[in-house]
Amino acid sequence: MENFNKILKDLRKANGLTQEQLAEAVGVSPQSVSKWEISSYPDPSLLPAIADRLGVSIDELFGRSKEEEPFLDRLVKYIGSFPAEERCAVGMNVCRAIPLAFCGAPFFDPLHDNIYKRHNKFDAAYSEITTDHGWCQSRNQEDLYYFLIMDEPEQGYDEVLDYKEEYVELFRFLSVPNALRAMYFLEGRDETMFFSVETLMRELGTDKENAEEIVEGMNKLGFLWNADFNTGAKNERIYQYTAGRNFLSFITFAHILLHRPHNFNYQGNIRTSSAFFKNDTYKNIPKSQREEDKKD
């Protein structure tokens, strides 16, 4: 049987916890945790709380072998053991373990405050792994902390993310004066809000023609739900924004594209080719566009 004190210390570190954090979770002093990791033992009534916080069973705290529950099942229960408001942060720690494992880290290395709390959007620290089977990237600062992992399709990412004229339409819409401002305005409001052309005119300080062009573009792209509202005196066209959090994802990666990562906390590249698109789908120009090109 392994030594309880060593197991406790190893599990605490594997979870990215300080002695102070484990002590706070269990309701004791940091000095108590320090003593447990050297030679003493906690009161038996504390064992369930310690085991829950470390995501293990009480048996495992004492090194007792047993038929283990599948790891992914244990992971689900571990994340679920935290209050709902903490689960995103716990999930990000789980994600952080991926680049660490690729880079051969011997144990979990939590994000240090000198990285996580650095508020310089132009010198952010990232982690990134690229392989022949996919890639993952994270931005490791609290002002915009995200993790993206993408398994690579056998035929390349552009098997699905192929060139489409609808993307051209999206960027054409965003080039309309005040269109991007309108997206920011609507993303900053409750999605149950209804608005009118006059709402955009007032909020953006623009004229009716521009506001109507923005609404028309959003409608065409499927960003709005609309209906007629009968005020008694007249019918008024009202709209509801339906793009949801997808605009947040879009603008996040627009930011990353314009301010490309150059400062890495963990980085690994074991990919044999730098090409992610394999099918040259940009050559598939629609017939209508080819005919327009001939006219020109």
Q: Is residue 135 part of a domain?
A: no
| Mean pLDDT score across all residues of the chain | 89
109-168: pLDDT as tens digits: 888 888 888 777 678 899 999 999 999 999 999 989 999 999 999 889 999 999 999 999
pLDDT at 284 over 90: no
Domain termination site, one of 38, 55, 81: 81
Q: Is residue 203 part of a domain?
A: yes
Mean pLDDT on 12-23: 91
Q: Is residue 212 part of a domain?
A: yes
Most confident of 38-42, 161-165, 188-192, 207-211: 207-211
Domain count along the chain: 2
Structural domain boundaries enclosing 73: 4-81
Check which CATH number belongs to the domain holding 13 and give it.
Answer: 1.10.260.40
Check which CATH number belongs to the domain holding 172 and give it.
Answer: 1.10.10.10
Long-range contacts, stretch 245-249, CB < 8 angstroms, 24+ apart: 247/183, 247/187, 248/187
Q: Is residue 178 part of a domain?
A: yes
Alpha-carbon span 296 to 293, nearest angstrom: 5
Q: Is residue 278 part of a domain?
A: no
- The first and second tokens of residue 201, run together, are 């005119």
Q: Is residue 170 part of a domain?
A: yes
Mean pLDDT on 198-226: 96
72-122: pLDDT as tens digits: 888 898 898 888 999 999 999 999 999 999 998 888 888 888 888 877 767
Domain termination site, one of 46, 81, 116: 81
**Residue 259 gets which letter from DSSP?**
S
pTM, to two decimals: 0.72
Q: Confidence class of residue 220 from pLDDT cuts 50, 70 and 90?
A: very high
Q: Confidence class of residue 1 from pLDDT cuts 50, 70 and 90?
A: very low
Strand order in the sheet with 125-131: 144-151, 134-141, 125-131, 263-269
pLDDT, residue 203, reads 97
pLDDT, residue 289, reads 59
Decide: helix, strand or coil at residue 213.
helix
Domain termination site, one of 48, 81, 114: 81
Give the Cα-Cα-Cα angle 5, 97, 139 (nearest 5 degrees): 135
Alpha-carbon span 130 to 16, nearest angstrom: 25
